[in-house]
Every structure is written in C-alpha cells, then in structure tokens.
Amino acid sequence: DGANRIAEKVQIKTWQKIAKHFTDLLMIVLMVAAALKAVTGDYVESGIILLVVIINGIVGYWQERKAEESLDGLKQMMGQEAVVIVEGLQQTVAAESIVQGDLVSLKAGDVVPADMRLIENHGLVVEESILTGESEPVKKTEHVITENSIIGDQKNMVFSGTLVQSGSAIGVVVATGDETEIGKINQALQSVKSQETPLVKKMHQLNKQIFRGIVALILFLIFFTAFRYGLELNVLFSSVIALIVAMVPEGLPAVLTMILSMGVKEMADQQAIIKTMPSVETLGAMTVICSDKTGTLTKNEMTVVDTVTVTEKEQALMYDIMANCQDLKQDSSQRAADLQGNPTERALLQFVETQELPLQQVAAKIPFSSTYKYMATLHPLQEDQSILYVKGAPEVLLNKSQLSEDQVSYWQQAASELAQKGQRVLGFAYKTVPASSQVAHEEVTDLVFIGLAGIIDPPKDSAIKAVRESLQAGIRVKMITGDHKETAQAIGEQVGLKHTKKVLEGLDIDQMTDEELAQQVNHVDVFARTTPEHKLRIVTALQNNGEIVGMTGDGVNDAPALKKADIGIAMGIKGSEVSKQAADMVLADDNFHTIANAVKEGRRIFDNLKKTINFFLPTALAQGLIVIFALLLNRPLPLTPVQILWVNMVTTITLSYALGFEKASKDVMDRPPRPVNEGILSMYSMFRIVYVSLPPPPPPPPP
C-alpha cells in the first residue's frame, strides 16, 4: 500500500505563475502593439510599451504570490514514530513504515500514527478537534459498532493525527496514508480548485468589452481611411498603435492594486489579515456566510449556564461538590483558567471559583468512567462521619437516590428542559457515611439528590451582534458543525439564525443527491454532525445556486471547504495551521464580528474601484477619439504613443488614486449584496463615459 504518508501534489513552477500575469487580454493587445512598433522601426516606443506590460505583470505576480503550504501543515500533524507489537514485544518504528494489520500501542501524549480500530482499551481519551471541530475530548471503547456512524460517533476508532489525552489502548491499523481520514482531507484539499474572485471575473468582462470596442474601431478606421484617403501603410500602422495605446487603460491595474493594498492595510488594522488582494472586494460581494460553531460563533469554552436546586442550602452543597469532586485542582491557589484537562471539570471549577471554597481532604475516590457514568469522592466530615460527593449522569444518580415518584418526575422534567437548550446536563448528589466506610460502587446507593447543572459552549456576544448586522446587510448566515443536533439548534436560535426549526445532519446529507442538497440549503441554516466532505458539499451546493460564499473555520476538517469557498476565513488564535494556509483571510482576534467590519470595508473598496474605473475610461476614450478624429479628418496625430502612455501611467494614476480614499456611504451596510451577474459598467455608466469623453460644445458667441 506504500508508505504511511500523504501524497504530495505537483507544484506549479514559478515561471508558470509569472507567465499567467502576461496572458491578460489587454496585456496581449499591448504586446502586439509593441511588436508592430518594433517592425516599423520605432524601437524606443516599442520598448516603452513593452516596459509598461512588464511592470504590470510583475506587480500582478508580486501581489498574488502565495505558496501552497496546506500540505506541509498536514504532514506536520502526522506522528513521526509509533510503538508496534511484534510477536508480543513492543518496538518503536518510524510511523511511515506502518501498514494495515499492524498492532499499535497507544499511551497519553501520543499522536495517533494511522487510522486504527481498538481491540483493547484502558480508559483511552482522545482529542479529535482537528477532525470534528469539537473541543470535547472523546472517550473511546473497544466494543463493536454495527450501525452506520460518522467520524464523531465512531467510538471504537482512533484517527491519524489526533492526540491521546489520557489512558492507553492497543489498536489494529485499518488505513494508512491517503486512505486515512486526514489523508482524505488532504485529497479533498488538493482537488479543490481556487475560486476566481468576483472582481477578477468582472475585470475580465471589462477587458473583453474594451477589446471588442478597440477591434471595432480599428476595423472601421482601416476601411474608412484606406478607401477615403488611401493612407500609407506605415501611417495607418502608427495610427492603429496610437489608438490601441490610447484605448487600453494601462495604469488601471496599478491603481486597482494600490486601492486594494490600502484596503488590505485598513483591514489588518481591524484584525482581518487578507492573504490575496482581490479577496478584499469579494467580502463586499458575499451573499452567504457558512460558519463553524465551536470557537467561531461560540467561546470554545464549556461554561455552566444553568443550575437547578430546591433550596439555598442544597445550592451551597452543590457548589462544594463541584469544587471537590474533581481531578484537576490540587491546590487552592490554582486558577481554573490555568488548569489543563477535562473541559467539563474546568467549567465547574470556573463556575464556583468566585465562591472561594476551600479544597477538602480526599480520603478515597472513584474516578469517572463512561461505563458507570459517575464520579465519587469521600471526604472526612467529623471524627465518626464522612461525606460522599457524587456527580454524573442525572438518570444514573436518580436511580441511586431516595426519591418519590413525584420528585423523580420533577428532576427528569428539569433535566429535559436543560437538554432541549442544547446543554450537557450533570446531576449532583451526596451521602453521609461512617468514617470507616470504604469507597466502592456498592456504597453509591441511597443518595440524596440535590441539583442539576447545564453546561454548554455558549455563543459570543460579538457573534450575536455580527449575525444581526450580516442579516441586516442581506447576508445569510449558516452554521455547519460536528456537534449534536440539539446543541447546534439551540446555539443557532441563540445567535439569531433565521431557519432553525429544521436541522440537517450529516447522515441526511449522505442520502441526498447534489440537486436535492442544492434545494435544501436555501431553507436550512443549521447543519449538525457533519464531516469535512459534508462541509465541502454544502459550500458547493450554495455556489451552484449562484451564491458568493464565505466560509469560516478553525479546524483541519474545515480546510477543504475554506479553500472551495469564494472567501475562506480562518481563526488566527485557535485556528489550526492548515486552516490558516487554506484560507483567504485570517481573523487575528477570532472575532466573528470582524467579518461584518470586513464586509463593510469590502463594499467601500468596490464602490471606490467603480469610481476609479469610471474616471479612467473617459480619459482613455477621449484620447482614442482624438486619434480617430485626426484620421477621419486626414490630419497628423496630435499625440504620439509615448505621450499617451505618459498621460495614462502618470497623470491619470495620480488623479484617480485619490478616489480610493473616499469613505463608505452611510447606507453601505443597509443595502443587499450587489447582484452576482452585475458587471462593473452599467448602461448608465457607459452613457456617462461616452458623454464625458466627447468634446464640450462651443461657447455661445459674445453679445
């Protein structure tokens, strides 16, 4: 099957990257004009025209130069060494040498070297956020799973590139290299073609319009002047070249580059780092933002948001259980924010930190396990008494507590209400026991159930504001997450998404054709339990519907969709290196609200670009008309190509550059995104260009 490494894509050579900037339609026209000048012996003018082409090409290459680094980021995530079991003995080997069928031993701190199915498990907990995007570590099992499951639910599998947080296990390798889940992400990433930005598309359309106009005028002049005046070939040659040089706005690429670079600097000051200049304008054209949930719309920190108790005394006791029935905090001076480990315990400790509760002595402990779903700690109370603190799944603790049917019904209803909000629900109970008691599972009975806590990764306030502003600007927001349906739906409602009643899960998407998905994506704003392939399909379906799609994300699993989107937006602080490399823009502050500010800046820039183009083209057309009138009247050319280039490259650039500094109009975020098929030049713009280009009427005679 080959070495256990992901395949590399053949990189485009540097000369090919440079050459593509000289294949622009108008640049080809100028190169033809330079060649014709050289044929007629005007080497100085030919050289000047060619120099203008070279300068424009170099500027274009320099501002778009970006190495394809995504593969390197993925390669760094794969393990370098692995411990395999051969004839009962452990051997350390290079991860690249692993093949299917190998038995691999895992322990805390290991990077999983390949996709493996577990056959022996001792409390293995794995951090899989690079694949699923979810911060909650996954407790693994060796039991067989028979139903069809997505990556996040395959509890008996571990995947290449993920990190073992605690425990140990032995697994059999089932996939290596490109066949692993991270290898499939790499294949998707390499197969996705970078999207051509709306600005580049519109500039190509504009170039074609200018080219058609030049060709039409040249043909007219050749036939008219040849038949009317019988001009000599070299005179006609010079006139045609002068017309080409006059009509082609050579300075426009330079001005566009300067205005876009100003936009890049402005956005950098607002914590939005733009990697390719045309992406600045794409932000202003965006019609849909697809956002990851964890770390983008939410804080990526589990937080206690609701508690349910009956009395204040029980609440105080529940705080004691939160502070002491745990593994993370060993000293009262430790701050919860500095602790590493289980996110749920960190959330509980952070919640009670303001209470300044002392750490109690722990006489014995039953650590948490997904098998029995609770944790218990024993603490000395008096000389002859101790107290047993228990936290865990509410349904388990309720079965082990002394409660009437009405009390059980009350707590079940309360737990259900918290779960419907998308919260992970924990129950808390205690029991007073003799000091001589030992902690054993048999002792965890006849408990006193005292309360519930609801834990969730809550939405950021800035994200709620940004969603509101985006909707006001006519930009729809869709949330795509690997989290469970209920949690995703609850967060969607809290941040203010429009269509949250229906949630599409990854398994639902698998059953749909591309056409069916394209119909559904318009009416669904929440997608749950998704894989990298699902995210890519959703973005593609939106683009097939004619949308300009922005995609935000921070995990490796987001990288293919980030690259496919018209504008990929990665998180700068908590984002993976791979996601940053695949994206067009990086949010230095991980703040979703920064996107709304960037959209405003993108719309301002496009407005100013249109003003610049509407200034440039009348100048070019007016120069062309001078040449045309001279030929029609059989007069000498009033301007040489070099003089025309001077006007275009120096005078016009300096005057039009000022338009790039104009501020955004007041209604820039109250109007919908411009139509996708709208060109830079409207019919009204064309009328104004022609009108302004014509000579003014003669002044009235003096009285």
3-state SS track over 341-358: CCHHHHHHHHHHHHHCCC
Helices (H), strands (E): how many in the chain?
A: 25, 21
| Helix or strand (DSSP H, E) at 365 | strand 364-366
CB count, 10 Å around CB of 273? 17
The residue to which tokens 């980030």 are assigned: 562
Closest CA to 128 of 148, 99, 149, 155: 155
The residues, ordered by sequence, that sit 6+ positions from 195 with a Cβ below 8 Å of its Cβ are: 543, 564, 565, 566
State the angle between helix axes of 198-228 and 25-39 in degrees (0 to 180), rounded to the nearest 10: 40
Q: 289 - beta bridge partners?
A: 477, 550
Rounded CA gap, 120 and 694, in Å? 84
Rounded CA gap, 623 and 616, in Å? 11
Rounded CA gap, 136 and 138, in Å? 6
Rounded CA gap, 56 and 339, in Å? 54
SS3 content of the chain, % helix, strand, coil (to 5): 50, 20, 35
Q: 569 - beta bridge partners?
A: 552, 585
Rounded CA gap, 416 and 287, in Å? 37
- The beta strand positions in 618-677, using DSSP E, are none
Rounded CA gap, 279 and 274, in Å? 7
Return the amino acid letter for 369: S
Closest CA to 690 of 611, 616, 618, 610: 618
Closest CA to 166 of 368, 350, 346, 331: 368
Q: Which residues are catalytic?
A: 292
Q: 116 - beta bridge partners?
A: 158, 173
CB count, 10 Å around CB of 126? 22
- Sheet order of strands, 374-380 included: 303-309, 448-456, 424-434, 385-392, 374-380, 364-366
Coil, strand, or helix at residue 571?
strand
- In whole angstroms, what separates CA 611 from the centre of its chain? 31
